[in-house]
Structure 1
Amino acid sequence: MSKLHLVFGGRVKDPQTLDFDTNTVEVVGIFPDYASAENAWRAAAQRTVDDAEMKYVVVHLHRMLEPPLDLPSA
């Protein structure tokens, strides 16, 4: 399975949290590996480096798509 990564960001209500203002969320893209996602994240974050309320993150989509292996049996 591909190890997809989502990069997105936007304005946060408090720079110490990930509480995004949903009206400002920008999807940078979905990437096939962490290295390319990290490059996109760095570029997006660098554009807004002087704005403490702008934050970008990398989400490991592949972790959300993989079924958990330790489910209790019914």
Structure 2
Amino acid sequence: MSKLHLVFGGRVKDPQALDFTDLSKIDFVGMFDNYADAEDAWRGAAQRTVDDAEMRYVVVHLHRLLEPENPPQPG
């Protein structure tokens, strides 16, 4: 199975948390088959909004959600 990574972000209520204020306005950056590409996309999106403390972007390891019984592998 591919190692799928989803990058998305949006406005949060608290910059220290992941409680998004409006799920209809989530910015879906993309889906990536390796962490390096996902991290590059995350970094680009986060840097575009660096002056807005209420915007937060994340990388979700979808492959870990799809096969939770398998322990995380390096890389």
Shorter-chain TM band: 0.7 to 0.9
User: 2:8 corresponds to which residue?
Assistant: 8
Unaligned runs of 5+ in 1: 70-74
Q: Go from structure 1 to structure 2 and tell me whether the alpha carbon gap of 1:34 and 1:11 turns closer, same or farther (over 3 Å shift).
A: same
Structure-1 separation of matches of 2:68 and 2:28? 25
After TM superposition, the score normalised by the length of structure 1 is 0.88
Identity level (%): 74
- 1:29-62 CA distances to partner (integer Å, 9 max, x unpaired)? 0000000000000000000000000000000000
Is 1:56 aligned to residue 54 of structure 2?
no
After TM superposition, the score normalised by the length of structure 2 is 0.87
Q: How many residues align?
A: 69
Unaligned runs of 5+ in 2: 71-75
Runs of 4+ in 1 over 4 A off after TM superposition: none
